[in-house]
Amino acid sequence: MPTIFEKIISREISADIVFEDEICIAINDIEPQAPIHILIIPKKLIPRLGQAEQSDLEILGHLLITAKNVAHEQNLDHGFRIVINNGSDGGESVPHLHIHLLGGRALIWPPG
């Protein structure tokens, strides 16, 4: 069964897309935890970071560079946070790797 992100990528489900290229898509989160909360999702299904393979190295690097570029486009030059949840104890809710880009206010630490 396709994940919600696969359905967004295939346009079965609509989303507020802020960036897209051949490797990934970036969408506004529907339950934002900060004024800016964008998900950067690889088009290739990688269930979670803990299951990424050496062959995914280029995709993983591309996701981080995309996060940096999207943060700049969103005027987050004063700071932002990147989060990747892995597994149920890590807060993972969709079994499709994605990066949370959070910003638009001062973020506290520790986050959990």
Rounded distance, CA 101 to CA 80, Å?
Answer: 7
Strand pairing partners for 27? Answer: 17, 39
Q: What is the DSSP string of the chain?
A: ---HHHHHHTTSS---EEEE-SSEEEEE-SS-SSSEEEEEEESS----GGG--GGGHHHHHHHHHHHHHHHHHTT-TT-EEEE---SGGGT--SSS--EEEEESSPPPSS--
One of 37, 62, 96, 98 is an active-site residue; which one?
Answer: 98
Is 98 assigned a catalytic role?
A: yes
What are the residue numbers of the active site?
98
